[in-house]
């Protein structure tokens, strides 16, 4: 039986999005503030996931060896570095979050049994790479505040209470929802991007965050006049709403995760549910 282990590491580095074959105006148009000289920095958080059989010592890999490999092949070069110049790979393709995750995989793969590299540029933006040559996943995290009531109009109040508990109370209740939207796409060999990040953010903001924020979902979002706005149904609606606009940006919606509270979240696995009328079997629920 195989086991997956995860090792965390950190490094601080700067980078700049700038293509010398473009003039200044075109670089600014394409990359916005990220094109500013001499660059900008991040506190990166890296998770290295390894898979293998347990050995006689109860380990997939000796963690001291894993730590040493990450330091030797990744962090000792990247920590407090200017990424555009630190590795030759970034002369050909810009050090975006997506590309950085891919190159870290390439650097570590000869030494560790990798299954995933996850790289956080900051808490609301991260990339995942699993070894497919130029395919990467990119996630943005955002939030909105909204109220809802869980009840079926066809049922009497006492029966709704039996099904939904306190969530069926007539005046509803509210949450600070956290939303994670993950896309998958092919990386551009020159820019290192799978999508224009500002366009990705705009689609999520315009179609979900702005319409949902500070609303009573049952009354202000037409879809939920007839559909009970459970976390599962909200996440499913978000996925259905985003699929086509994100496809038009040239990427595929991979998953939507809606965190209703620290104890309750729902996740729609979109690539396993190509039909927009996805069923509950496509929803992963997490509750404590």
Answer yes or no: are the C-beta atoms of 222 and 142 closer than 8 Å.
no
Pairing mode, strands 135-148 and 215-216: parallel
Instruction: Tell me how far apart the alpha carbons of residues 176 and 147 are, in angstroms, rounded to a whole number.
Output: 9
Instruction: Tell me how far apart the alpha carbons of residues 264 and 281 are, in angstroms, rounded to a whole number.
Output: 17
Any residues with CB less than 8 A from the CB of 218 and at least 6 apart, and which? Answer: 148, 149, 172, 224, 225, 229
DSSP 134: T
Instruction: Tell me how far apart the alpha carbons of residues 239 and 139 are, in angstroms, rounded to a whole number.
Output: 14
CB atoms within 10 A of CB 258: 25
Q: Cα torsion at 105, 110, 116, 118 (round to 10°)?
A: -40
Any residues with CB less than 8 A from the CB of 21 and at least 6 apart, and which? Answer: none
What residues are annotated to the active site? Answer: 167, 214, 260
Q: Cα torsion at 197, 200, 203, 205 (round to 10°)?
A: -60
Instruction: Tell me how far apart the alpha carbons of residues 196 and 32 are, in angstroms, rounded to a whole number.
Output: 11
Instruction: Tell me how far apart the alpha carbons of residues 167 and 174 are, in angstroms, rounded to a whole number.
Output: 10
């Amino acid at each position: 039986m195989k086991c997956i282990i995860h090792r965390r590491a950190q490094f601080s580095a700067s980078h700049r999005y700038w293509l010398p074959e473009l003039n200044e105006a075109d670089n600014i148009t394409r990359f916005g503030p990220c094109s500013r000289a001499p660059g900008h920095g991040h506190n990166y958080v890296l998770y290295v996931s390894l898979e293998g059989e347990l050995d006689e010592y109860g380990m997939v890999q000796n963690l001291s060896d894993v730590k040493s490999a990450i330091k030797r092949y990744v962090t000792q070069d990247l920590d407090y570095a200017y990424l555009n110049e630190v590795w030759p790979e970034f002369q050909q393709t810009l050090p975006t979050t997506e590309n950085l995750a891919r190159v870290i995989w390439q650097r570590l793969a000869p030494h560790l049994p990798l299954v995933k590299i996850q790289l956080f540029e900051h808490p609301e933006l991260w990339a995942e790479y699993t070894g497919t040559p130029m395919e990467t996943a990119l996630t943005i995290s955002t939030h909105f505040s909204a109220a809802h009531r869980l009840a079926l109009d066809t049922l009497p109040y006492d029966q709704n209470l039996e099904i939904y508990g306190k969530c069926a109370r007539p005046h509803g209740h509210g949450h600070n929802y956290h939303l994670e939207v993950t896309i998958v796409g092919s990386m551009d060999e020159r820019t290192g991007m799978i999508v224009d990040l500002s366009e990705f953010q705009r689609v999520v903001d315009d179609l979900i965050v702005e319409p949902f924020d500070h609303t009573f979902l049952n009354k202000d979002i037409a879809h939920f006049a007839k559909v009970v706005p459970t976390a599962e149904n909200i996440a499913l609606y978000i996925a259905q709403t985003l699929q086509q606009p994100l496809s038009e940006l040239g990427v595929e919606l991979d998953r939507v995760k809606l965190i209703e509270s620290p104890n309750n979240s729902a996740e729609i696995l979109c690539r396993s549910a190509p039909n927009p009328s996805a069923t509950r079997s496509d929803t992963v629920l997490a509750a404590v």
